[in-house]
Amino acid sequence: MARLKRQLERFGFNPVGVGLDAGYFTAPICHLLLAEQIYPVLGYRRPSHGANPIRKKQFIYNSQTDTYACPNGQSLIYKTTSREGYRHYHSDAATCKVCPLLSQCTQSKNTQKVIM
């Protein structure tokens, strides 16, 4: 915002909108622009998905057991919480090793699926 304000003052611009790269698509930037009555036009950032066709949304959470069930029925159990506060759920590597969906589920060398 400081850079934008400097340019506006320097060149005497009074914009209605400003075009920005997708990297600027954050809540604070949008809020500050709208507070200045400048409408942001932001680039689209394509979601970065891994090579696995099976996504987290295909795993079903069971709040009673605090586990996830994979599309093939295996339970992923809670192991740890990251420093960022994400809970990590791990599958049983031996069960995954013989699963027919393994190549669609994970590229992990230890044949274990981890979801957060």
Residue 1 forms part of a structural domain? no
Maximum separation of any 2 CA atoms in the chain, in Å = 67
72: region left, alpha or beta (phi > 0 left; psi from -120 to 50 alpha)? alpha
Q: Are 42 and 33 in contact (CB under 8 A)?
A: no
Residue 5 forms part of a structural domain? no
Residue 3 forms part of a structural domain? no
Of 7, 69, 66, 1, nearest to 36 (Cα)? 1
Q: Which two tokens stand for residue 27?
A: 């809540």
Report the domain count for the chain: 2
Strands 17-20 and 39-42: parallel
pLDDT in tens, 52-108: 788 899 999 999 999 999 999 999 999 999 988 999 999 999 999 999 999 999 888
* Residue 99 shares a structural domain with residue 73: yes
Q: Which two tokens stand for residue 80?
A: 């740890």
* Residue 68 shares a structural domain with residue 109: yes
Q: Model-level pTM?
A: 0.58
* Residue 38 shares a structural domain with residue 66: no
Residue 4 forms part of a structural domain? no
pLDDT in tens, 58-69: 999 999 999 999
Residue 66 forms part of a structural domain? yes
Kind and range of the H or E element at 37?
none
Domain around 98: 56-115
* Residue 104 shares a structural domain with residue 61: yes
Residue 2 forms part of a structural domain? no
